[in-house]
Amino acid sequence: MRENGPGTKTGRAVRYSRVPEPDFDKNTINRSTDTLVYALGGLGEVGKNMYCIEHDDEIIIIDCGVLFPEESLLGVDYVIPDYTHLVKNQGKIKALIITHGHEDHIGGIPFFLQSVRLKQIYAPRFAKALIEKKLEEHRMTRGVKVTEINEESRVHTKHFDVGFYNTIHSFPDSLGVLINTPNGRIVETGDYKFDFTPIGERSDYQRMAYIGQIGVSLLMSDSTNSGVEGFSISEKRVAASIVEQMRKTPGRLLVSTFASNVLRLNQILEAAVACGRKVAVFGRSMENGVDIGRRMGVINIADEHFITGNELNTLPANKICIVCTGSQGEPMAALSRIANGTHKFLKIIPGDTVIFSSNPIPGNGSSVNAVVNKLTRIGANVIVNSALTSLHTTGHAPKEEQKLMLNLIQPKYFMPIHGEHKMLVQHSNTAQQCGIPEDHCLICANGDIVVLREGECFIGNERVETDAIYVDGNDASGLSTSVIKDRQILANNGLVAVIVTIDSRYNKILCRPSIVSRGFVYIKDSQTLLKEAELVVYDALRKKMQQRTTFGDLKNCIRSSLEPFLYQRTSRNPIVIPVILNQKAAIAEIQAKTGARR
């Protein structure tokens, strides 16, 4: 059935049934009648977006992303939200809705499905293809159904009526979300920008204006570019710059961009074909992006225009365009391996031109600069995006475009999302310039609960359990989190090992403990401290072994006696590792008794 208004069946404003005025404090949450809005990720950070809307016995989740780790998190592949709250309430989860297919919005789905049983995921066309590929790689295709949605789709549950509208982003088929709840309307923009001459679909200005006219209680809006003045440049301007650069480059051309930006990939490929260049694609994610783009009809380049790595040496340099991953300086990406001289097919020839059709994501600047320097050192001409080159444009709305969204939706309350704390504050200031009162702008952290009650919003007096979980490989159990915390303690405070020899037959300590330190104190200058520490442990163990004990009791005794002493003397908390050695005769006696019992 075709519906006239997003999330409504008649196009008229929905009349919400009034809830009797509660007799409890305003900030106290009533979980049976209030609508609750909270984030498990995405607030105070750019990544791991996951926003939940809860009413009584139902939860709607919007996006399920990952955060890529900082350089200091060695050995970590992804950072994901703590799903504990949703695991406890998985019977309430009615839908996971995806706004678009970037990793910070879909990358957490395989890990989420390890913890939570979920029957239905709703996603736009291109995101659906990427999610299904992820589920296939993780062998999860049987457990969950991925349903395609577009701006005409509706998701209905007992308490929620969800509609959608088209937005522009650096990813095809991006959607904003309208959620009708018993206490008012919520709009979640997803990632968006306004491009008046876009490549592909246009933003649905009419629908956004209509949503604003029928009334919105709470707007949750992308804050990534809150500190950027003005408007973003158009993708068509970027396309023209790429064609111009392609034409004037005399030799081989290497272009690196985000593999997920399929519309940009199509511009690069079309420019290469227009300039008579054959295209070689390197990098797994880039190959996947091109493959899915061609299957979806976003990329319309014939097979004859592509070449393999083995064919690179068969063509003149000015007839080759290489498209590769690595625009963010990722160590294992194709461009980094090319810069290091370890790529299987490609080595830089002096005179090659390398184009970065991207900007560094915050935190990646040093990695990108390192790759640029390596490429320049071996003879490449490197061109990065700037105001002069216009080789990239953002997918997130700067201030003036954020103002346009605020004026279209006209929310009563505003909750900035998807950004570091400074970005959230800047976006809140922009909202106040657009007429939203300061006390109606709700700046939250992950886990804070915004209560929607009869069209009014406030931050409740409870929080949802949330934390960052570090993922090493495909382990989403949280065990890697404790490993990373140990690494951080080792980096800051070092390690102390305590070696104790006992005779378990007589419950007797045979000699004074020996302490070995690494990364804690300089041993030659700290002999007195270590000798005192040995005496502290020895005295504690002698008292403990006057009674019947276990090996676990002895280890706890060592830690509980040594850790406070070391902190008192050095103001540092090293990792203390007890090593208990049992006398050979005692071990043999234990083994003999064990064998006899068997």
Q: How far apart are CA 275 and CA 262, in angstroms?
A: 20
Answer yes or no: 25 catalytic.
no
- Paired tokens of 575: 């990792």
Residue 274, helix vs strand vs coil: helix
Specify the 3-state DSSP secondary structure of 115: helix
222 is catalytic: yes
Q: Which candidate in 34, 161, 173, 222 is catalytic?
A: 222
Give the residue from 207, 203, 131 showing the smallest Cα distance to 174: 203
Share in percent of the chain as helix, strand, coil (round to 5): 35, 25, 40
- The number of angstroms, rounded, from the C-alpha of 413 to the middle of its chain's C-alpha atoms is 26
Question: What are phi and psi for residue 48, nearest 5 degrees?
Answer: 40, 50
Q: Which residues pair with 121 in a beta bridge?
A: 96, 146
139-147: long-range pairs with CB below 8 Å, 24+: 140/110, 140/113, 143/113, 143/117, 143/118, 144/113, 144/118, 144/119, 144/120, 145/119, 145/120, 145/121, 146/121, 146/122, 147/120, 147/121, 147/122, 147/123
Among 85, 169, 396, 440, the active-site one is 396
Q: Which distant-in-sequence residues (6+ apart) come within 8 Å of 478 by Cβ? A: 82, 469
Please list the residues that pair with 77 across neighbouring strands: none
Q: Name the burial class of residue 262, with classes exposed (0-12), middle (13-18) and buried (19+) by CB atoms within 10 angstroms of its CB.
A: buried
SS3 assignment, position 166: strand
**What DSSP character marks residue 317?**
G
Q: Could you list the active site residues? A: 222, 396
